[in-house]
Structure 1
Amino acid sequence: MASIEEKAEAVREDLADREGVLVAFSGGVDSSVVAALARDALGDDAVACTAKSETLPEAELDDAKRVADEIGVRHEIVTFSELDDPDFVANDGDRCYHCRTMRLGKMFEAADELGIPVVCDGTNASDADGGHRPGLQAVDELDAYSPLLAHDIDKDEVRELADAYDLSVADKPSMACLSSRIPTGLEVTEQKLSRVEQAEELVRQWGFSQFRVRDHDGLARIEVGRDELDAALNEDFVAAARDRLTDLGFDHVTLDLHGYQTGSVSPESDESEGDESEEVPDAVAGNEATGDSDADEPLVEDVFASEYPTAE
């Protein structure tokens, strides 16, 4: 079996045979490693490109700019809106297919304008596990090249390479696009994306490292890493989260006592980290381990279906 160093060298040799590559670059660990390998192989003929849209948090765009500078790779930014596509807005089980098709489409347009023949993405060998991957379907259809996947580099090895390159994102948690916070079947809107982004910025400012704020049509469900649950129960944080998130337009604010779970909002969809992927089946909290088919319905549908006595 090839060592990680041998695999990395094979990627460099592979990319060096190209006349130039444009890397779909989110600033996450996968695309950052691809960009670093491409920069080694091709020098100035390697370009990192980030697609800016309503689903990309501003903090992630800032990270992408910073990491591109770390790598020393040319960085381009293109702009588009997933909300222009009614299929994306409808938020069915193939939302990530529609998103990835548009996002990669902008990459191919940018590559064509720059005279670059190859578009690469950050799909790694761990992503191709045979599960439901609508985002990967778009990669195949558009004929983007995935060098990590082609050379059998998995997620752990990606992080090894990021360490070797001394990249600041080597241990960065996966950060899926903002639309992944909205359950399948509930329309994606600019208002929802904006309030999720602002809510997560509050959680970030309080020092949490692994978290999501899920938007169940007006109910904010805050998830934090299980080792951070005690901090989330801090009275000051509870009061700040309740007040600030209510101000943002949420009707109710909750803390999920299961803790953070990747893809806990919708069944069988990708959580896409920019142009990379967590891409694990989503499920309503409580059904993740069993794959219960009852998770096919959005949680919010029944959250307030019954009347409960409350103190006045």
Structure 2
Amino acid sequence: MTTVEAKLEAAREDLAARDGVVIAFSGGVDSSVVAALAHDALGEDAIACTAKSETLPAAELEDAERVANEIGIRHEIVSFSELESDAFVENDDDRCYHCRTMRLGEMLETARELGVGTVCDGTNADDPGAGHRPGLRAVDELAVHSPLLAHDITKAEVREIATRYDLSVADKPSMACLSSRIPTGLEVTEDRLTRIERAEALLRQWGFDQFRVRDHDGLARIEVAPDELERALEREFVETVRAELSTLGFDHVTLDLHGYRTGSVSPEADEESVPGAESSSDD
């Protein structure tokens, strides 16, 4: 038995020993692996739950529904609004903590209503050492179980397990809630979230794979993966994206020649990824 197989089996046995679990499910690779393991171990007693809010792109919600169907797991969707929290809207260094506390709170409430005693998330063994991650504090405070972390399953091993389960998201890039595109200290508003989502939908239509549109109070800073920079400099794309983003309310449109970097608007070099979008962090 390989190391990965041993860890996989330990995580599956861990979940099988529980009466049932609700998984905080974004449709990213981490939460999808937890969902697949839980469904394998518990069958209909495993429930994937996605929290829908203004910070979750519609495309990610659709992807979560598709992946849940792919796994065959029961999928619940609950709705809430981070924008009802002044602490979240303020967008300080602990924004992810406030978001995660609310989002996991919805999971815990769903679990209570369903008579399920355990809520799981997709925090993996690499996450605690990955920089500024205040959302992990919420996981600890709310006693949410992280089977990938508990059994020392790294991100690379998560992707290997996803491949073993033939999950379509095995190679999916990390995703993060839309608020991670707004620099710390600049208020999170529905208007900003909406124009970011629409701007990123445009880049997705052009076939870009790893990218962000950062909203610097009306200045759109586009980041794409280094190997996609050349395409982003093509005149047709430049002219189209400039015109389209201007109609969305951006006063200026720029391309960051450093390329895509996680956490480039956070107080440190790293942020946490989605909730609801990847299991724990934002970038």
Give, in whole Å, the separation in 2 of the partners of 1:92 and 1:133.
13
The alignment's TM-score, normalised by the length of structure 1, stands at: 0.88
**Counterpart of 1:270?**
271
CA deviation profile, 1:129-185 (whole Å, cap 9, x unmatched): 173321000000000000000000000000000000010000000011000000000
Distance 1:120 1:78, change over 3 A: same
2:117 matches 1:114 = no
What SS class does the counterpart of residue 129 from structure 2 fall into?
coil
Give, in whole Å, the separation in 2 of the partners of 1:274 and 1:161.
21
> Do the aligned residues in 1 keep the contact of 2:211 with 2:224 (CA within 8 Å)?
yes
Give, in whole Å, the separation in 1 of the partners of 2:173 and 2:132.
22
**Counterpart of 1:145?**
145
Select the structure of larger CA radius of gyration: 1
> Do the aligned residues in 1 keep the contact of 2:96 with 2:282 (CA within 8 Å)?
no
> Do the aligned residues in 1 keep the contact of 2:48 with 2:73 (CA within 8 Å)?
yes
Alignment of structure 1 residues 106-255 onto 2, 5 Å: 106-129=106-129, 131-255=131-255
Counting aligned pairs with the same residue, the percent is 73
> Do the aligned residues in 2 keep the contact of 1:272 with 1:278 (CA within 8 Å)?
yes
**Counterpart of 1:308?**
none
CA deviation profile, 1:240-296 (whole Å, cap 9, x unmatched): 11000000000000000001111111213633222423457xxxxxxxxxxxxxxxx
Distance 1:2 1:139, change over 3 A: farther
> Do the aligned residues in 1 keep the contact of 2:275 with 2:281 (CA within 8 Å)?
no
Match of 1:273, as an amino acid?
A: V
Gaps in structure 2 of 5+ consecutive residues: none
Give, in whole Å, the separation in 2 of the partners of 1:253 and 1:279.
23
What SS class does the counterpart of residue 38 from structure 1 fall into?
helix
Give, in whole Å, the separation in 1 of the partners of 2:162 and 2:138.
26
CA deviation profile, 1:21-59 (whole Å, cap 9, x unmatched): 000000000000000000010000000000000000000
> Do the aligned residues in 2 keep the contact of 1:270 with 1:277 (CA within 8 Å)?
no
CA deviation profile, 1:199-224 (whole Å, cap 9, x unmatched): 00000000000000000000000000
CA RMSD, 1 decimal: 1.3
Match of 1:271, as an amino acid?
A: E
Match of 2:23, as an amino acid?
A: V
> Do the aligned residues in 2 keep the contact of 1:39 with 1:73 (CA within 8 Å)?
yes
Match of 1:162, as an amino acid?
A: A
What SS class does the counterpart of residue 96 from structure 2 fall into?
helix
> Do the aligned residues in 1 keep the contact of 2:135 with 2:272 (CA within 8 Å)?
no
> Do the aligned residues in 1 keep the contact of 2:133 with 2:272 (CA within 8 Å)?
no
Match of 1:93, as an amino acid?
A: D
**Counterpart of 2:23?**
23
> Do the aligned residues in 2 keep the contact of 1:213 with 1:223 (CA within 8 Å)?
yes
How many residues are paired up?
A: 280
Match of 2:246, as an amino acid?
A: T
Give, in whole Å, the separation in 2 of the partners of 1:266 and 1:221.
14
Distance 1:261 1:139, change over 3 A: same
Match of 1:56, as an amino acid?
A: L
2:89 matches 1:89 = yes
> Do the aligned residues in 2 keep the contact of 1:30 with 1:122 (CA within 8 Å)?
yes
> Do the aligned residues in 2 keep the contact of 1:127 with 1:279 (CA within 8 Å)?
no
Give, in whole Å, the separation in 2 of the partners of 1:240 and 1:93.
35
Match of 1:28, as an amino acid?
A: G
Distance 1:58 1:130, change over 3 A: closer
2:14 matches 1:11 = no
Match of 1:274, as an amino acid?
A: P
Give, in whole Å, the separation in 1 of the partners of 2:234 and 2:54.
31
